[in-house]
Structure 1
Amino acid sequence: MKFRRKPRETVDINLASLIDVVFILLLFFVVTTTFTRETQLRVELPEAVTGTPAPDSELKRLDITISADGVYSLNNHLLPKADLVTLMDALQKESAGDTQLPLSISADGKTPHQSVVTAMDAAGKLGFSQLRMTTVEAQVSP
């Protein structure tokens, strides 16, 4: 006995509504997301009991800031890489070849020693002679 087979129906899934829902969700996430871009490093300076404050009469200075993770910033501009060549290029560009500008290094108290030595090495190789290390004044306990 032969049975007749029913012809199979082709099943189509309508993707138009699914695409609409995905785009609405994407739009929702884009609108509700906040994009923050931090341009300054948070640095907790080490303490020192002795020292003299820097004079405020300087017009142009170079400030190297090093975070606890070893990320460099020159005059509040983050450097893309934390290596000697990048730091030297940024110093050369910012100083325009003037090695008489005062250069201060502000490193976090937990910064690896190698990061500070790299900053000092970059300044020395470029010929900077006025180098300062910044600290905060220690609280003297009675």
Structure 2
Amino acid sequence: MNFQRGRTREEPEINLIPMIDVLLVILIFLMVTTSYAKFSELQINLPQAGGDATVAEAKPINVAVDASEHYAVDNQTISFNGVEALAASLKKAAGDQTDPTIVINADAKTPHQAVVNVMEAARLAGYGRITFTTQNQSK
């Protein structure tokens, strides 16, 4: 028995509206749950190029720290009396330079705090260009 003799059969169709709704909900979920990490940026003073101007090459300030936390600024041993005193020693070594490069030569077994002390002293002195000295491993 065919009860659907007079009816025409409807073709199945895909309804896109619920699929779009689901995709929008997923998109909103991803936007809300994504964490946006802010990384602190280093302040870098980029060199400027000029045809006529010549820039005098700055002399770096070498700060050495050994494993027993003895400090030396430009090969002159200083006693560590605090970060402020170390900052004053850096300013004295810089002379008339406005932003010299601080080169930290730390022993491999130097405590982390000693290196941080040098970095903090450079910050207090107003010097932002800091670099570290390393050596290659011999195999």
Amino acid at match of 1:95: A
Which secondary structure state, in structure 2, belongs to the residue aligned with residue 109 of structure 1? coil
| Root mean square deviation of aligned Cα | 1.9
1:40-96 alpha-carbon deviations (Å, 9 max, x no partner): xxxxxxxxxxxxxxxxx9551100000100111000000023521221110111112
In the superposition, relative to structure 1, how do residues 58 and 137 fare at CA in structure 2: closer, same or farther (>3 Å)?
farther
- How do 1:11-26 and structure 2 match up within 5 A? none
The percentage of aligned residue pairs carrying the same residue is 30
Aligned length: 84
Greater RCO (Cα-Cα under 8 Å, separation 6 or more): 1
> What is the TM-score with the length of structure 2 in the denominator?
0.55
Q: Which residue of 1 aligns with 2:135?
A: 136
1:73-131 alpha-carbon deviations (Å, 9 max, x no partner): 00000002352122111011111253421110010001010000000011112221221
Work out whether residues 71 and 82 of structure 1, in 8 Å CA contact, stay in contact via their aligned partners in 2: no
In the superposition, relative to structure 1, how do residues 122 and 101 fare at CA in structure 2: closer, same or farther (>3 Å)?
same
- How do 1:81-92 and structure 2 match up within 5 A? 81-92=80-91
Partners of 2:118 and 2:65 in 1: how far apart? 9
Structure 2: 5+ residue stretches without partners: 1-55
Moved over 6 A (4+): none
Structure 1: 5+ residue stretches without partners: 1-56
- How do 1:1-142 and structure 2 match up within 5 A? 58=57, 60-96=59-95, 98-139=97-138, 141=139
Specify the structure having the higher radius of gyration (Cα). 2
Partners of 1:85 and 1:117 in 2: how far apart? 13
